[in-house]
Amino acid sequence: MDSAKRLGRRLLPQFIALALILALIWMVFPAFFSLEMQNGRLYGSLIDVLNRGAPVALLAVGMTVVIATKGIDLSVGAVMAICGAVAAASSVRGDPLVLTLALAIGTGLICGLWNGFLVAVLNIQPIIATLVLMVAGRGIAQLVTEGAILTFNDPGLIYIGSGSFAFLPMPVITWLVFGIAVAVLLRRTALGMLIEAIGINRRASTLSGIQTPVLLMAAYMLSGFCAALAGLIVTADIKGADANNAGLWLELDAILAVVVGGTSLLGGRFSIIASLVGAMIIQAINTGILLSGFPRNST
Amino acid sequence: MKFAKALSCATILAACTFGTASAADLTIGFSQIGSESGWRAAETTLTKQEAEKRGIDLKFADAQQKQENQIKALRSFIAQGVDAILIAPVVATGWDEVLTEAKDAEIPVILLDRTVDSKDDLYLTAVTSDLVHEGNVAGKWLVEATAGKPCNVVELQGTTGSSPAIDRKKGFEEALKGNDNLKIIRSQTGDFTRTKGKEVMESFLKAEDGGKNICALYAHNDDMAVGAIQAIKEAGLKPGADILVVSIDAVPDIFQAMAAGEANATVELTPNMAGPALDALDAFLKDGKAPPKWIQTESKLYTQADDPAKVYEEKKGLGY
């Protein structure tokens, strides 16, 4: 009970900001909170916020952990494009769904491993190390799709992007379940504390016996995993892999979500739940602007 | 020093020999911007096909979106003494010097799909599409399709500030002028991408009474239309029937949607810029007849009546 109260106090500023923004949208667009059932799932602007915010929310989960280790992962947008391209290429080849998903997620993990290797083993500054894949990643994705938008028709893969489960769109379920699972895993075990220790003082953590390189690599691999999930969702959503535009600039949104969530860019204490709320704040602003009819470039 | 002189003599000699070659076995250099979009990949494929059809030896150079690479390619074409140069310039400025070099070497240069800021005596002609006209064709189709019935239109714009977005909007609005039954009720940018097209359309649908208030969608490119079609379907409406869909570009995927009855019309931005360019060049080399400084490509309208399934098959292999 005590920990729940503490979490509530920690999240209070974020929830106040979210409530203010929602109230503001509601004033401009009164039908914002109306929900109805359509095609067996809830349908409405509020659901759109949860649904469209899924990629940034997923990226924010991995980004929070990486930032907690005093790192940063700029490559997530490009990794999304690569994983989406791999999934689409595999689906077009006619691979079974399980293999398609395994390939996409495996690709994300390998990208994360590469970043983690540069940071943890070669000791390159994270902002530089992950810049490599940020710049090169879209080229790799282009190679996979051969420069075109690769469209597919596998209903299983499309379900990940636009299917629904328990009256909610699949992307919403994905980020909610995944985000909470990671948060619980890190907080109910010592993992979260060890990650914070690395972020506060990497050298002291190593000297006190923490397997710093392994944990660092795991953090970047988690970020790669999140990017793979996000890439699968955006690819499945439009039934095609758009290597040029999938996840473009989303790394910045993800970092913003983490910062809005109150996690310090200098590493150390972090809160995944707060980052998820941060992602929803960003998406609420985006959706609100679209609904209000203001031109997009005014943001 | 002596060697360099000999080399330059040989180059000039080689250039002279090439220069006197008959029109049938021309050597032409083509400097392409890169392959940033499917459309450009299709343009490259079609240029190669057109050259092969005419028995032209095409030297292809991919500039990877860099002007310096294009200038380098042009200089190397000049040194090789090609008979003509095709170039899709990546930016509009900074071409004076290299175009003058080509002019001094008496090599005609033809601009494809984009123009430059240089004086127009530095190049033979420019083959481009008229973006305003494209918007106009789309608008006229909608005027005819609605036949005077009241119709609320939503518009998905291209990337804010880009010339296709500005011109395609302008042309569409011109076509609608004087038809008071047609009203553009919402207009937002979808950044030319499927994801944004879908997201923006979702919010249009919510904002306009679940889409019941919308009768037509005009998208500045097909990709946004493809995204929007999915949003319309997910909202429980029938794209192509409940909401008319008209867009521009004519990429293969929109023909699939048209074949399925989910899109109504598209205006082609033809990737075959090389065909008219090579025809003009042929006439110029044969009779010395200089073509007009601007050759406008056809903005052809495709509707569901044009056998979209067949067009899809034709377009599929072009690398879109």
What is the per-residue burial (b if ≥16 Cβ within 10 Å, else e) of A118-147? bbbeeebebeebbbbbbeebbebbbebbeb
Q: Which chain A residues are closer than 8 Å to B195 by Cβ?
A: 234, 237-238, 242, 245-246
Angle between helices A54-68 and A272-292 (to 10 degrees): 150
CB B156 within 8 Å of CB B226: no
Say whether pLDDT at B9 is over 70. Answer: no
Asked if the structure places residue A18 within a domain, the reply is no
CATH number for region B131-269+303-316:
3.40.50.2300
Tell which of B206, B209, B232 to mutate to test the A interface (max A CBs under 10 Å): B206
List pLDDT tens digits, range B237-295. 999 999 999 999 999 999 999 999 999 999 999 999 999 999 999 999 988 888 999 99
Judging by beta carbons within 10 Å of its beta carbon (0-12, 13-18, 19+), is residue B60 exposed, middle or buried?
Answer: middle
Total domain count, chain A: 1
For residues B93 and B194, give the distance between their C-alpha atoms in angstroms, rounded to a whole number.
31
List pLDDT tens digits, range B185-236. 999 999 999 999 999 999 999 999 889 999 999 999 999 999 999 999 999 9
> How many Cβ contacts (< 8 angstroms) between chains A and B?
83
Given this model, what pLDDT does residue A287 score?
93
Q: Do B230 and A162 touch (CB under 8 A)?
A: yes
For residues A55 and A65, give the distance between their C-alpha atoms in angstroms, rounded to a whole number.
16
- Residue B161: pLDDT band (50, 70, 90) is confident
Q: Do B35 and A296 touch (CB under 8 A)?
A: no
A278's enclosing H/E stretch is helix A272-292
Instruction: Pull the structure tokens for residue A227.
Output: 């990017």
For residues B307 and B256, give the distance between their C-alpha atoms in angstroms, rounded to a whole number.
10
Does the interface ipTM go beyond 0.95?
A: no
| Paired residues of B151 in beta bridges | B182
Angle between helices B222-234 and B194-207 (to 10 degrees): 50
List pLDDT tens digits, range A126-184. 999 999 999 999 999 989 988 788 999 999 999 999 899 989 999 999 999 999 999 99
For residues B192 and A22, give the distance between their C-alpha atoms in angstroms, rounded to a whole number.
28
Q: What percent of chain B has pLDDT over 90?
A: 75
Q: Which chain A residues are closer than 8 Å to B253 by Cβ?
A: 149, 151, 240
Given this model, what pLDDT does residue B2 score?
53
Asked if the structure places residue A36 within a domain, the reply is no
Q: Do B206 and A31 touch (CB under 8 A)?
A: yes
Residue B237 main-chain phi, psi, to 5 deg: -110, 165
Asked if the structure places residue A165 within a domain, the reply is yes
Domain, as residue range, for A280: 66-286
Superfamily of domain B2-128+271-289: Response regulator (3.40.50.2300)
List pLDDT tens digits, range B26-85. 899 999 988 777 788 889 999 999 999 999 999 999 988 889 999 999 999 999 999 999
pLDDT, one tens digit for every residue, chain A (299 residues): 678 898 899 999 999 999 999 999 999 988 899 888 887 788 899 999 999 999 999 999 999 999 999 999 999 999 999 999 999 999 999 999 999 999 999 999 999 999 999 999 999 999 999 999 999 999 999 899 887 889 999 999 999 998 999 899 999 999 999 999 999 999 999 999 999 999 999 999 999 999 999 999 999 999 999 999 999 999 999 999 998 889 999 999 999 999 999 999 999 999 999 999 999 999 999 999 988 877 655 44
List pLDDT tens digits, range B101-153. 999 999 999 999 988 888 889 999 999 999 999 999 999 999 999 999 999 99
Nearest chain B CA: its distance from A240 CA (Å):
9
In chain B, where the domains are located: 2-128+271-289, 131-269+303-316
Pure H helices in B115-220: 131-146, 163-176, 194-207
In the numeric block, the tokens 């490559």 are attached to A75
> In terms of DSSP bridges, do strands B84-87 and B27-32 run parallel, antiparallel, or are they unpaired?
parallel
Asked if the structure places residue A28 within a domain, the reply is no
